[in-house]
Copies of this chain bind each other. A is one copy, B any other.
C-alpha cells in the first residue's frame, strides 16, 4: 500500500490551458439533500464549485433551493423529483455525485434508480452516504460507469459484507474488484482501493471529525474528476487535498469546519498545480 504525498497534487492539478472555457472544466451534477439533510448537498456543491468544476447543477428537494443560492449563486438548481429534468441533467454531466443527504425514503430510492438507469460508461459516478446504504439494502445492480464509492467503515460493512474488524486490505481489495471502480474507505486514516493499487492517506487531523466532512469530500471528488483526465489520480488528489487543507487549518483551530476547508481550495490548488 502506497502512502499518499503532495506528489499526487502536482501530478494531478494541471496548470490550466490559456485557451479554454467553462466547458473545459466539466459539468458536475450533485444529487441529494432531502428536507432534513439539505446541508449535506449544499456542502458537496460548494466543494465542487470551489474545486473549479466548470458548471455545477444541484438536484435536490426544492426546499433547499433558497439556502443553496444564498450561499452559492454559482450553482444551478433543479428538483430531483422531476424525472425528466433529472434524466436530462444527469445525462449531460461528466461527473455525477449522488448521496449526500439523499436519505433512504421511497423518494431517495426513485432518484437513485433514475440516476443508475441514466448514467453511461463514460461518465464518472460518485456514490456516497445514503446512496451506499440504499445500494446495500436493496441489492441494487450497479450501472456501467467510472464508479467511485466513498463509504465510511460502517457503510463499507453494509456494501461489502465485510465486518469492520475484518476489513483487511486483501478482503477490501477483493470486494473492490467485484464492484469495479474505486473505493475510498474513510476513517481516521483513509484508504483508497483502485484498479492500479491501494493508497493510504496519512494526512488528516481529528480536528476535522465533524459532520459534513464526507459530503465535502464527495463534492471535491466531483470537482476533481470533472476537471482532471486521470480519474484515479483525481480521486486520490481530492482525498489528499481534503486532509492536507485540514492539517493546515488545524495548526490554529481546535475544530475545522467543512466549509472552511472548501474556502481554502482555490489557494491550495494554486499552490500545488504543475
Contact = CB atoms under 8 A, between A and B. Distances in A.
Interface of A: 13, 16-22, 24-25, 35-40, 42-43, 46, 49-56, 63-78, 152, 187-188, 205-207, 209-213, 250, 252-259, 265-270, 273
A112 to B, nearest CB: 20
Contact of A74 (B64, B70, B78, B212): B212
A74 B188 contact: no
Contact of A21 (B42, B77, B187): B187
A131 to B, nearest CB: 17
Contact of A188 (B13, B20, B49, B50): B20
Contacts of A210: 22, 25, 49, 52-55, 74
A209 B63 contact: no
B20 A209 contact: yes
B69 A69 contact: no
A206 B24 CA distance: 10
B70 A209 contact: no
A254 B209 contact: no
Top 3 A-B pairs, shortest CB-CB distance: A39-B73, A254-B269, A52-B255
Tally of this chain's copies: 4
Given A38-B65, A38-B69, A67-B69, A56 B255 contact: no
A176 to B, nearest CB: 22
B259 A73 contact: yes
Given A54-B211, A77-B38, A256 B252 contact: no
B254 A270 contact: yes
A206 B13 contact: no
A38 B56 CA distance: 13
B74 A258 contact: yes
Contacts of A252: 266-267, 270
B70 A19 contact: no
A273 B259 contact: no
Nearest to A17: B206
A74 B255 CA distance: 13
